[in-house]
Amino acid sequence: MKNIYPIILAAFLLASCGGEKKKNTIEKVLESNNLETIRIKRGEIVAQQQEIAEQLKQLDSKIAKLDTTKKVPLITTFKAKQTVFNHFLELQGSVSTKNNLLIFPEYSGILTRVYVKEGQKVSKGQILAKIDDGGMSQQLAQAQIQANLAKTTFERQERLWNQKIGSEIQYLQAKSSYEAQEQAVNQIQQQIKKTVVKAPFTGTIDDVITDQGSVVAAGQSQLMRIVNLDNMYIETDVPERYISNVTVNKNVEVEFPILGKTLDAKIRQAGNFINPANRTFKVEVAVPNKDKTIKPNLTAKLKINDYTNKEALLIPQSIISENAEGKQYIYVVKDKNENEEGVAERVIIETGKTQGDVIEVLKGINDGAEIIQEGARSVKNGQTVKVINQ
């Protein structure tokens, strides 16, 4: 080392002096305006340039042999370890309930009474409203009188018939008249029942749409909305390629961004019909709603567990590179010594599913392989590296 630097210095000084002379010579050659002379001078300079490059190469080679302080790239590593890998299919869905119903009247007339108000809790079968029956009550009373008379006539005719008194036709006529009157009474009673609006299930009156005193039409006028928030579920469309993985009882992580709430659920129903328009099938995810904060039509994000590998090898996606052939590769450390120095070796890998920042490695590495993390994109195959893991 002590002999090398004086040699370099002397060469530099000679080159400087020679450079000044060359400058004067070049100026004279250029002033000559002789093409052949200029070409000859250029050839001489090119030859000198090649000679200097060869000398520099020899000097660099000698320095590399004598310099004991090698510049080894510093890297960090981690060891591949088998772990359970759960892949989740991320979708968006909307909250629904089986018990969300608009109530329509079964009878046309004037809405004479509304017994409930918005926000009121009601029980199944509870009377919600009353529609004017248009005189049906009076018709029922008259029909009941006729039915009672027909019953009395039939009972008397029956006793006579049992005593072998009277004709059979008289007995049958009395029986037929009585049964017809009973049917008439029942029919009117059924019509009157339709004037009473009852709760189809236990729930809460969410909205009273039609005011008391309004004229309503059977099957057309919306009276009120009743909602039950106990039996809630999320419905979403799943692409058909997941039909064998997204099945009943699969775990689902449900997130409600608006509520800042996350809960665990399961798929309770998976559709068997593929929609030809968008090539999807429907699934239902049951949602517990004890605190009643989840409302119909609320947007939800779903993470459905569609794949699980109990012995997966996972690596960060950021350390993967790709060669000219489109194959993915990473670097591992081999032959590491006591000074934490080893050799970087390029390994071609095959990858599987991704989740967040990590990806599953299917082929190329084994459990326990030491993989380069920081510095993975700057090292070269076969290069000596130094591991500085903390």
As a whole number, the mean pLDDT across the chain is 87
Using alpha carbons, list the distances in angstroms from residue 78 to 124, 258, 321, 350, 372: 63, 39, 17, 19, 7
State whether 237 and 301 are in the same domain. Answer: yes
- Decide if pLDDT at 196 tops 60: yes
pLDDT for 80 equals 92
Instruction: Please give the average per-residue pLDDT across 255-275, as a whole number.
Output: 92
CATH number at residue 358: 2.40.30.170
Max alpha carbon distance in the chain (Å)?
Answer: 161
Of 157, 189, 224, the domain-final residue: 224
pLDDT for 10 equals 46
pLDDT for 283 equals 94
- Decide if pLDDT at 137 tops 90: no
* Burial (0-12, 13-18, 19+ Cβ within 10 Å), 123: exposed
User: What percentage of the chain carries pLDDT values higher than 70?
Assistant: 92
State whether 360 and 253 are in the same domain. Answer: yes
**pLDDT tens per residue across span 340-368:** 889 999 999 999 999 889 999 999 999 99
**pLDDT tens per residue across span 235-263:** 999 999 999 889 999 999 999 999 999 99
Instruction: Please give the residue range of the domain that contains residue 30.
Output: 4-66
State whether 288 and 201 are in the same domain. Answer: no
pLDDT for 7 equals 47
**pLDDT tens per residue across span 8-41:** 444 544 454 454 455 557 888 888 888 888 888 8
**pLDDT tens per residue across span 297-316:** 999 999 999 899 999 999 99
pLDDT for 67 equals 61
pLDDT for 217 equals 93
Question: Which residues pair with residue 334 across a beta bridge?
Answer: 343
Of 190, 224, 258, the domain-final residue: 224
- Decide if pLDDT at 265 tops 80: yes
pLDDT band at 390 (very low <50, low <70, confident <90, very high): low
State whether 308 and 289 are in the same domain. Answer: yes
State whether 54 and 190 are in the same domain. Answer: no
Instruction: Please give the average per-residue pLDDT across 76-105, as a whole number.
Output: 92
Q: Which residues contact 219 (CB under 8 A, 6 or more apart)?
A: 104, 105, 106
Instruction: Name the CA radius of gyration of the chain, rounded.
Output: 47
- Decide if pLDDT at 328 tops 80: yes
State whether 133 and 176 are in the same domain. Answer: yes
Higher confidence at residue 284 or residue 31? 284
State whether 216 and 254 are in the same domain. Answer: no
pLDDT for 46 equals 87
pLDDT for 23 equals 52
Q: Is 175 helix (H, G, I), strand (E, B) or coil?
A: helix
For the chain, what is the domain count?
3
pLDDT band at 4 (very low <50, low <70, confident <90, very high): very low
Instruction: Please give the average per-residue pLDDT across 110-123, as a whole number.
Output: 92
- Decide if pLDDT at 337 tops 50: yes
- Decide if pLDDT at 154 tops 90: no
State whether 174 and 300 are in the same domain. Answer: no
**pLDDT tens per residue across span 205-243:** 999 999 999 999 999 999 999 998 888 899 999 999 999
State whether 195 and 248 are in the same domain. Answer: no
pLDDT for 35 equals 84
pLDDT for 338 equals 87
State whether 286 and 208 are in the same domain. Answer: no
Q: How far apart are CA 185 and CA 138, in angstroms?
A: 11
pLDDT for 239 equals 94
pLDDT for 135 equals 86
CATH number at residue 175: 2.40.50.100
The structure tokens listed for 323 are: 């060669």
Tokens 């190329």 — which residue?
Answer: 364
pLDDT for 38 equals 85
Instruction: Please give the average per-residue pLDDT across 3-8, as a whole number.
Output: 46
State whether 190 and 279 are in the same domain. Answer: no
The structure tokens listed for 276 are: 């030809």
User: What percentage of the chain carries pLDDT values higher than 90?
Assistant: 54
Of 180, 198, 224, the domain-final residue: 224
Question: Where does 133-291 have alpha helices with state H?
Answer: 136-162, 168-193
State whether 172 and 288 are in the same domain. Answer: no
